[in-house]
Amino acid sequence: MKNTTLKQNRNSALLTSILSILLGIIVGAILMLLAGYNPLVAYQALLGSAILQPFDLGETIRTTSPLIFIGLAVALAFRTGLFNIGVEGQYIVGSLTAYLVAAKVSLPTGIHALVAVVAGGLAGAAWAALPGLLKAFRGVHEVIISIMMNFIALYFSNVLVRTWLAVGKDSTDKIPPTASLRIGSLSQLFAGARIHMGIILALLAVFVFYYLLWKTKLGYQLRAVGYNRHAAEYAGISVRRNIVLSFLLSGFLAGLAGATELLGTSEYIAIQDAFIGIGFDGIAVALLGANAPVGVVLSALLFGVLTYGGGNMQFVAGVPFEIIRVVFAAIIFFVAAKISFRWGNRKKGKAYA
Amino acid sequence: MNVVEMRGITKRFGSFTANEDIHLVVKKGEIHALLGENGAGKSTLMNILFGLYQPDEGEIYIHEKKVQISGPTMANELGIGMVHQHFMLVQPFTVTENIILGVEEKSSGFVQYEKARNKVQKLSEQYGLKIDADAVIEDISVGMQQRVEILKTLYRGAEILIFDEPTAVLTPQEIDELIVIMRNLIREGKTIIFISHKLKEIMAACNRVTVIRRGKIAKTVEVSETDEKKLAALMVGREVSFEMEKKEQKKGSIALEVKDLLVKGFHGKMAVDHLSLDIHKGEIVGLAGVDGNGQSELIEAITGLKKIEQGSIFLNEVDITKFKTRKIIETGVGHIPEDRHKRGLILDFTVSENMILSTYYKTPFATTWGINYTEVEKYTDRLISEFDVRTPSIDTPIRALSGGNQQKAIIAREVDRDPDLLIAAQPTRGLDVGAIEFIHRRIMEQRDKGKAVLLVSLELNEILKLSDRVAIIYEGKIQGWVDPKIVSEEELGLLMTGSKQAGGDAI
């Protein structure tokens, strides 16, 4: 009898995720059939080109690491009952700040990278502070403010690149190697793939996320506020303070995503005419991963495989990459529709009512 | 004639059997009470009759014809109507609009409002409901809203009315009126199934009573051939003592002093209006009043959850008026909140996480950054055994516990801190006799230990049974003080509605 309900909850979340993934893949397959492609060949190409070769595996992991950070960022806010849709902006600000520290400050190898990463995280937190403060003290809906903050971040970054960091060009120079997160031996291990220290930092963040939320006083407060702010208030927990803290931490994680991507993958900043959409992917990762640390890692990995492998599938099987975005969307659709609800949860839930 | 007959009904949820081989016979023209503890299976049985659940075994006969009730629509067609405990009304709509919602009579696309209005008015007169068909729901009292629910079932042609805990929200006078209405309904040929765990009302209103215990029928008896004590024993499965042994009061100095308090409610009106109140050590002060007369705001002001406009609050001579909630808790206030799901518990937290809700940051639970969950578990183990909280494990989400056990968990948490002032708001709302008895004893223990207790309850007999002094609150003011030993429920009811000032028996 021990732990049954807890397990039921976990099982139903897991069941939802697995069913949603399967259904999403089936929806993709139906689309391919309708468009005259062979889904078996396509998925085989996708999977084969994502993980079989060391190079591809390295690139898949590289694609996965910012998704882990962003997924954690969204999940942390969700756990406190907040919807941080501003991760995209916090990501941009994080990467911009990391670039500034990398390009404009000189420090010894390693330390330089570390300082740039932390600076990126702090910048993300600072960018998230405004929606957090407005939500806590003025009751302004965080979604509205965060979306606007995304636009400000995007165009602010573009202005800085065009007028200061790379006058007359579309992109900046590369960062100095002292600030890079790439490690030669790691790249060699994966046949020269752009895999970098970001994945190590991301996995570290997963552990910190778990420890923070379930083992510390702060985590207890954040979860209490998230589940029931009236009860938290009743117990003397400051709801406002925890809303702001949650946004700061979430923004910090999003900033880390931007910083590690810049310092490890791209190594320069380019003018962007639109969002890269990592914010939405992060929301998808958090939803599919049920806001749980291990869940976020697994769903980030799935999205990493689909994104990287999907790109190759285009070449190998001739199936357009857009199909993979449809698979993404379908998976999230099914997660949001709580597809396992009828099969597992409903009757058991009622027994206690 | 048997209007309803349920034969051998069994309903299982997974491994849990909610109803086991239940036989229920309801005769035409009677008020048949369904009595049982919370979780005994009354609601499940009625949900089966109303078509919300399908039984695993058994048969249902309506007017002696075998039926299979596939859903509420079919139940309505069979003439079964349910008056829910939580009203299903659209607040800004009028009475008529609410009643016809979903069954509007139309003519070329337009709702025949005038015709419906007249029908509503006629039904209201026929059954003595005294409802104004044009009144807007949010402007009328809770008792009136309940009558609208009754009218709704009648409008849909109900012959068998199920009342789900109808008196939980009513004042004593409204309860009397409801009983009159039920008699009117019977006289007009209706049949009523009355779900309750209040013995007094069953004795006053019903013809026969079926007692359900742990999913099985304990017995069906004529009300005239039984009494409250026998019914309680049937329901709980053992003897229940109604009499509480009240020890000689050892009244000490003043513990809580509220002076000239002003607290705003919704719409900026003063919910607590120049209220003053004091409670001594070793004393239970009962606060009686009709719901919505400032009780909630008073409690929230004392516990720092609501802003105080004016006035002051002292606890053992410490001015806590400007303290934040945490500081107030630390100064020695325990609070059993009126709404356990809104304030009292975090339903998705485990039992043990809920036990440290206001103490998680203190030793022995807190370390520098973290929480020592070994200590939390030890503490929870002790509390659940001391306070008889029945749970599969301390890691179970508290959502899965029954209402009584959830309430016991809150009481364990609040009482174990041994606060100088215990605020108990509706401490036994919705609980069964066994749990009520337990909770009353715990509250009494605090008083006997020399603590101050503020008891806020809509149950008058609870207030009269436990309190040393009773204050009546009306429109945010203390209308008067009475001695619970000599005041009658009727007199209290009049004071509560503001129609009488406390007279010679005031203390």
Q: What DSSP letter does each residue of B217-244 carry, written as one string?
A: EEEEEEGGG--HHHHHHHHHSS----S-
Nearest CA in chain B to A228: B346
B392:A220 CB<8 A: no
Phi, psi torsion values for A318, nearest 5 degrees: 75, 15
pLDDT at A339: 61
Of B18, B369, B396, the CB nearest to A217: B369
Q: Does A224 touch chain B (CB under 8 A)?
A: yes
Q: Are B287 and B454 in contact (CB under 8 A)?
A: yes
Per CB-CB distance under 8 Å, the chain A contacts of B18 are 351
pLDDT at B501: 65
B14:A234 CB<8 A: no
Q: Can you tell me the mean pLDDT for B62-83?
A: 92
Nearest CA in chain B to A1: B392
A236:B396 CB<8 A: no
- Count CB neighbours of B225 within 10 A: 8
A3:B348 CB<8 A: no
The H-assigned helical ranges of chain A are 4-34, 39-51, 54-79, 87-104, 111-138, 142-160, 184-189, 198-215, 217-227, 229-234, 239-260, 278-288, 293-316, 322-336, 346-350
* CATH for B254-496, options being 2.60.40.10, 3.90.79.10, 3.30.210.10, 3.40.50.300: 3.40.50.300
- pLDDT class for B269, splitting at 50, 70, 90? confident
A210 to chain B, closest Cα gap in Å: 12
- pLDDT class for A289, splitting at 50, 70, 90? very high
The pLDDT tens digits of the residues spanning B448-462 come to 999 999 999 988 889
The pLDDT tens digits of the residues spanning B171-192 come to 778 888 999 999 999 999 999 9
Give the span between the Cα atoms of B451 and B421, in whole angstroms. Answer: 6
pLDDT at A134: 96
The pLDDT tens digits of the residues spanning A162-212 come to 999 988 888 999 999 999 999 888 989 999 899 999 999 999 999 999 999
Q: In angstroms, how far apart are the furthest CA atoms of chain A?
A: 69
Give the span between the Cα atoms of A104 and A158, in whole angstroms. Answer: 18
Nearest CA in chain B to A216: B370
Give the span between the Cα atoms of A265 and A300, in whole angstroms. Answer: 17
Number of A to B CB contacts under 8 A, please give it. 97
Q: Does A217 touch chain B (CB under 8 A)?
A: yes
B397:A5 CB<8 A: yes
A351:B16 CB<8 A: yes
Q: Tell whether ipTM is more than 0.90.
A: no
Domain ranges of chain B: 254-496
Per CB-CB distance under 8 Å, the chain B contacts of A352 are 399-402
A350:B328 CB<8 A: no
Q: Are B5 and B61 in contact (CB under 8 A)?
A: yes
Q: Can you tell me the mean pLDDT for A3-22?
A: 72
A103 to chain B, closest Cα gap in Å: 36
- Of residues A341 and B409, more confidence is placed in B409
Q: Can you tell me the mean pLDDT for B114-125?
A: 92
Closest CA to B224 of B239, B243, B241, B205: B205
Phi, psi torsion values for A238, nearest 5 degrees: -75, 110
Per CB-CB distance under 8 Å, the chain B contacts of A245 are none
Nearest CA in chain A to B356: A235
Q: Can you tell me the mean pLDDT for A83-98?
A: 97
Lowest-confidence segment of A101-105, B82-86, B493-497, B503-507 by average pLDDT = B503-507
B329:A235 CB<8 A: yes
Q: Does B347 touch chain A (CB under 8 A)?
A: yes
The pLDDT tens digits of the residues spanning B404-463 come to 889 999 999 999 999 999 999 999 887 777 888 899 999 999 999 999 999 999 888 899
B324:A236 CB<8 A: yes
Q: Does A343 touch chain B (CB under 8 A)?
A: no
Q: Are B363 and B376 in contact (CB under 8 A)?
A: no
* Host H or E run for residue A165: none
pLDDT at B223: 92
**Res. B228: pLDDT tops 70:** yes
Q: In angstroms, how far apart are the furthest CA atoms of chain B?
A: 75
B342:A347 CB<8 A: no
Could you tell me how far CA A351 lies from the centroid of its own chain?
A: 37
Q: Does B381 touch chain A (CB under 8 A)?
A: no
* Host H or E run for residue B493: helix B489-496
Q: Does B58 touch chain A (CB under 8 A)?
A: no
Per CB-CB distance under 8 Å, the chain B contacts of A3 are 392-393, 395-396
Residues 4-33 on A with a CB inside 8 Å of B are 4-6, 9
- pLDDT class for A241, splitting at 50, 70, 90? very high
pLDDT at A59: 94
